[in-house]
Structure 1
Amino acid sequence: MAGFPAMKNDLLLRAARGEETERAPVWVMRQAGRYLPEFRKVREDHEFFEICRTPDLATEITVQPIRRYTGLIDASIIFSDILVIPQALGMEVQMNPGPYFPDPLQTPEDVSKLRKVVDVNKELGYVFEAITQTRKTLNGEVPLIGFCGAPWTLFSYMVEGGGSKTLQKAKSWLFKYPEESKALLNRIADTCVDFLVGQVKAGAQLLQVFDSWAGELAPHHFEEFSFPTLQRISAGVHQKLDAANIPRVPMTIFAKGANYAIQLLASKGGYDVIGIDWCIDPTRARQLAGDKVALQGNMDPNLLYGGREAIEREVKRMCEAFKVGGKTKGWIANLGHGITPGVDPEDLKWFFECIHKYSAPS
């Protein structure tokens, strides 16, 4: 895109397009976060959403892991949060330390309190500013990923009022008020579309949709409530980018825990990459996905606590399982979920080094 530094490392983008690569590109979800002492230092003086809303701070946090692991890491992901969408819809969200909604949606009547029209430039322009600034700061070292939460996951937070182990309230909505739930899910999806398109216009080079609670739904409920909104997002983003004459960027869907849906997502989802958790073998995931989409994943994040020997052993096994005929093709190395706060940054460095060593063609 005009006005940005030339890319020096496009490994991620080539893998996302399903191409054969000299090794697997690697990054980790939540890589700009609490396991880094430099992140914790910034957090001492700044509230979580203050960082999200301050482009200088969001840029600094985004580039911290790139600076620390230069030459080892192949993507940056903008420092933000999936819950900026509920905020844009007019809901209050606090972090203390996890997400908390003082006034969640309790009945479908409460939906009337949400903004009927969301101007993403007005409500979320700070994310776009941070993306443009970060893209320039990265100076082409690695691509920049933009993201949003999936409608079902965002809906769950908006109804539950925070995290939940059972999602009892959110699921009760689906079962008691199916049509009202679908209407709200579609409203959320349409805001996601505008948000993702805005991120591409600002400089994001790949987009990821996080459906963190997908695995909490039965397969038929996933197909009824979540999947149509994921299709709506991919189709809407493609349509709006095409209409604006802006080149499409690869799109990743990560439906955690929904390995039953890999085949459906690959064949009808409209995404280029499918993220998978650690609860499925890569060979099986490739069988289900076919060769039309790339895969991303899938080491258990807790293996980063297992010591260097365990990390190397598991990375070697994972790399072999993702190879196609001994070649590395259409695979982005990652964890099967986000990195957790207690990980030693040096152990993550070892993970990256092992990916470099074992993902080269055999």
Structure 2
Amino acid sequence: MASYTIPKLKGADTWRELESKFPPLKNDLLLRAARGEETPRAPVWVMRQAGRYLPEFMEVRKKHSFFECCQTPELATKLTLQPIDRYPALDASIIFCDILVVPQALGMEVLMEPSKGPVLPQPLTTPADLARLPETVDVQKELGYVFDAITLTRQGLDGRVPLIGFCGAPWTLMAYMCEGGGSKTFERSKSWLYKYPEESKALLTKIADVCADLLVGQVLAGAQMLQVFDSWAGELTPNHFQEFAFPALVHISRKVRHVLKELGHDEVPMTLFPRMVHAPSSLALLKPEISGYDTLGLDQGLDAVEARRLVGPEINLQGNFDPVVLYGGREGIEKEVARVCKRFHEAGGGWIANLGHGITPNVKPEDMGWFLECVHKYSVRK
């Protein structure tokens, strides 16, 4: 194991003392499922559940920019709590933030433009640009606002549900940093892997170190579960996923677990969401004993039974309703929820219900509520 700097617990001598400062947890279904324990029904939450489909979210956004909301702990907390206040059926909260705070911490400018989404005006075009990135990053200094938001949110949740912290995966972040934003072809970022393989690996490791420090900091601030979003993992060939993306993902899980163990706590479940990774050779790498993650998030393109066959019985599954099902009307939503729940029951093992990607802005709030009710009904273990 590499030598890592171990942070100090703030305001506490032990982990239990630190955790005792928060209200006790009343609903632990999510954590139990993430540890592979049998639960009476599947816990359910939704990616981007604090988002533009909620009118109360849009009211806040009228007055504040996107990154202002991310970087102001009181605003991030308010947005995080909105879906929990609206939907008692939710079993988890996820901190309102963005994966691109990591490139910001690495000194890159990130803008959120309404018509284009994220834009990085000065992308990394050649290895010479790596000199613009700092050797090390003080995450407390650069990303302390995330930790403050986590702590405020834990207090605001009052133990209703667990709080999830997260980060983007190194390959996904590298893609944004090299492309200068989103992309349909990923020709700039993927060409790095062919032209500059060693420099690409060094960049991915640098990003992974910041990601791991961010995740540890979120746990120290009060996060009870972690998720790593590899949104663009499916853009890679299976060979490139294995050579470039996967080692950086393992670096994160190993570093986080090692540091937390040194602090007296190694029980925080970790979820990996490698979107559109369907190749059997890639999925076989994602078993817990290899990857270090407890739960595998599935997108809607992968059947639960087939995923279970490929990844084995030890890992827990999360997913994977098509986000567009929320436009299907009450009858359509209920029918699809019943079908998908049946497949997860057949797959066996721990299961956390979720969409296969984030909820989209035009969903009606009442349809989201009906979806949650249906999951509660059809995910009950018989």
What TM-score range do you get, normalising by the shorter chain? over 0.9
Q: Which moved more, 1:285-294 or 1:14-23?
A: 285-294
Give the SS at the match of 1:105.
coil
Question: Structure 2: which amino acid aligns with 1:176?
Answer: K
Counterpart in the other structure of 1:278? 300
Counterpart in the other structure of 1:342? 362
Give the SS at the match of 1:259.
coil
Counterpart in the other structure of 1:312? 334
Deviation track 1:2-52 (CA, whole Å, cap 9, x = no partner) reads 201000000000000011100000000000011100000000000000010
**Are the aligned partners of 2:283 and 2:311 in contact in 1 as well (CA < 8 Å)?**
yes
**CA-CA distance at 1:324 after TM superposition:** 4.5
TM-score (norm 2): 0.93
**CA-CA distance at 1:117 after TM superposition:** 1.0
Q: What is the correspondence of 1:318-357 to structure 2 with a 5 Å cutoff?
A: 318-324=340-346, 329-357=349-377
Q: What is the correspondence of 1:134-145 to structure 2 with a 5 Å cutoff?
A: 134-145=153-164
Is 2:290 the partner of 1:268?
A: yes
Counterpart in the other structure of 1:85? 102
Q: Percent identity?
A: 64
TM-score (norm 1): 0.98
Is 2:30 the partner of 1:12?
A: yes
4+ aligned runs moved over 6 Å, structure 1: none
In structure 1, stretches of 5+ residues that fail to align are: none
Counterpart in the other structure of 2:148? 129
**CA-CA distance at 1:115 after TM superposition:** 1.4
Counterpart in the other structure of 1:119? 138
Deviation track 1:215-267 (CA, whole Å, cap 9, x = no partner) reads 00010110000000000000000011111223430000000000222221115
Deviation track 1:133-156 (CA, whole Å, cap 9, x = no partner) reads 000100000000000000000000
Give the SS at the match of 1:333.
strand
Counterpart in the other structure of 2:41? 23
Deviation track 1:178-201 (CA, whole Å, cap 9, x = no partner) reads 000000000000111111000000
**Are the aligned partners of 2:257 and 2:266 in contact in 1 as well (CA < 8 Å)?**
no
**CA-CA distance at 1:329 after TM superposition:** 4.1
Counterpart in the other structure of 2:123? 104
**Are the aligned partners of 1:262 and 1:274 in contact in 2 as well (CA < 8 Å)?**
no
Question: Structure 2: which amino acid aligns with 1:354?
Answer: C
Question: Structure 2: which amino acid aligns with 1:127?
Answer: V
Give the SS at the match of 1:157.
helix
Give the SS at the match of 1:351.
helix
**Alpha-carbon distance in 1 for matches of 2:276, 2:360:** 18
Deviation track 1:306-344 (CA, whole Å, cap 9, x = no partner) reads 11111111100111110158xx74000000000011111
**Alpha-carbon distance in 1 for matches of 2:284, 2:201:** 23
Give the SS at the match of 1:90.
coil
In structure 2, stretches of 5+ residues that fail to align are: 1-18
Give the SS at the match of 1:115.
coil
**Are the aligned partners of 2:313 and 2:349 in contact in 1 as well (CA < 8 Å)?**
no
Q: What is the correspondence of 1:87-236 to structure 2 with a 5 Å cutoff?
A: 87-97=104-114, 98-236=117-255
Deviation track 1:272-300 (CA, whole Å, cap 9, x = no partner) reads 00000111111111111212110000011
**Alpha-carbon distance in 1 for matches of 2:62, 2:270:** 34
Give the SS at the match of 1:188.
helix
